[in-house]
Amino acid sequence: MIIVTGGAGFIGSNLIKGLNARGRADILVVDHLKQGHKFENLVDCEIADYWDRKQLLDHIDSGEDFPEMPDAVFHQGACTVTTEWDGRYMMETNFEYSKALLHFCLDREIPFLYASSAAVYGTGSIFREERQFEAPLNVYGYSKFLFDQYVRRMLPVANSQVVGLRYFNVYGPREAHKKRMASMAFHLRNQLLATGKVKLFSGSHGYGDGEQRRDFIHVDDTVAVNLWLLDHGDVCGIYNCGTGQSAAFNEVAHAVINCYGYGTIEYIAFPEDLLGCYQSLTEADLTALRDAGYDHPFLSVEEGIASYVEWLDAHAVG
């Protein structure tokens, strides 16, 4: 059995599809379906059971084991709303819950692979998995940063695999439920179909109109990294999960426009409330991941967006 928390979410549901492709259907999905539309991400997935996230926490607190010990826990569940400022909720959801799962796995020597975030780096220009480059800008980033710090203290005494993946800007199928927090590619495609044009931020933080840069990674690539780690139980630590190459927002817009053969770009004023707390550049340093042995290539922005737009059109997602 494999446990996937956040299994009805974006990366979690894609990970389940990746496990299904390997012939694994003995999957316990853990999530919180207050936002019921997320069930759509699971309709074409093969799973063994579904638990609410509180049900899993209650089970852990009881001290009971599962009838069948999990082969691994993929902890993808979290509050990922970067504009959420309820710190108590964020820390309970992202920090305390993660600690409980970590200790459950450490005590039973179950591989534990969890979702961290590039948000831990803040406005820095060096994206390397080292403490001196980490300075989150919001409570979401802080919750991820603090758990990474906790894991670092646990790693020297861990007798089983523990891996954190710092996801950069992930895009791809099964993210529509995220609404406002869905990827730029998703929103630009919908804008183009609705109005014939796409909207980007005007210049800010030293960057020209639409020239802010992010490391955009297709969700299929994040799944590939997770599954590789499952196969390499000797790999432990915290690793960046991006392509290693940033792309300007303009490049993303043109990639979407090129998929349809029409469209223009409109630049809108940069929101004042984001000044000083916005990552205008992210670019994963992949040295540690490559040194760990992961040598697979990543999709380029052009390749990834073309594949994603084809999927969105085929599934009539709007």
Instruction: Assess whether 209 and 119 both reside in one domain.
Output: no
Q: Is the per-residue pLDDT at 275 higher than 80?
A: no
Do 167 and 253 fall within a single domain?
no
247-248 vs 213-214, strand pairing mode:
antiparallel
Virtual torsion, Cα 78, 81, 87, 92, nearest 10 deg: -10
In the chain, the number of structural domains is 2
Q: What is the CATH number of the domain that holds 187?
A: 3.90.25.10
Please give the model's pTM, rounded to 2 decimal places: 0.96
pLDDT of residue 318: 76
Separation CA 9–CA 213 (nearest Å):
26
84-121 pLDDT per residue, tens: 888 899 899 999 999 999 999 999 999 999 999 999 99
Same domain, 160 and 97: yes
Range of the domain at 162: 2-171+217-244+284-299
The domain that contains 128 carries what CATH number? Answer: 3.40.50.720
> What pLDDT is stored for residue 243 in this prediction?
98
Helix (H, G, I), strand (E, B) or coil at 29: strand
Looking at the fold, whether 136 and 209 belong to one and the same domain comes out as no
Which residues are known catalytic residues? 140, 178
| Pair 118, 225 in one domain | yes
User: Residues 209, 231: one domain?
Assistant: no
C-beta neighbour count of 29 within 10 angstroms: 24
In which residue are the tokens 């309820």 written? 86
The pLDDT value recorded for residue 81 is 79
Rounded CA separation 111/271 (Å): 42
Pick from 225, 220, 226, 280: nearest CA to 248? 280
Alpha carbons within 13 angstroms on the beta-carbon side of residue 138 total 20
**262 HSE (CA, 13 A, CB side):** 6
Q: Are residues 143 and 206 in the same domain?
A: no
Q: Are residues 240 and 250 in the same domain?
A: no
Residues 21 and 116 in one domain: yes
DSSP symbol at 204: B
Structure tokens, 267: 């630049």
153 & 122 share domain: yes
Tell me the pLDDT band of 204, cut-offs 50, 70 and 90.
confident
| Sign of the alpha-carbon dihedral angle for 285, 291, 292, 293 | positive
Q: Could you read off the pLDDT of 154-185 as tens digits, one per residue?
A: 999 999 999 999 999 999 999 999 999 999 99
Task: Show the DSSP H helices in 157-300 as ranges.
Answer: 184-195, 219-231, 249-260, 287-291
pLDDT digits (tens, 9 = 90+) for 8-37: 999 999 999 999 999 999 999 999 998 888
**28 and 41, same domain (yes or no):** yes
Whether residues 44 and 79 share a domain: the answer is yes
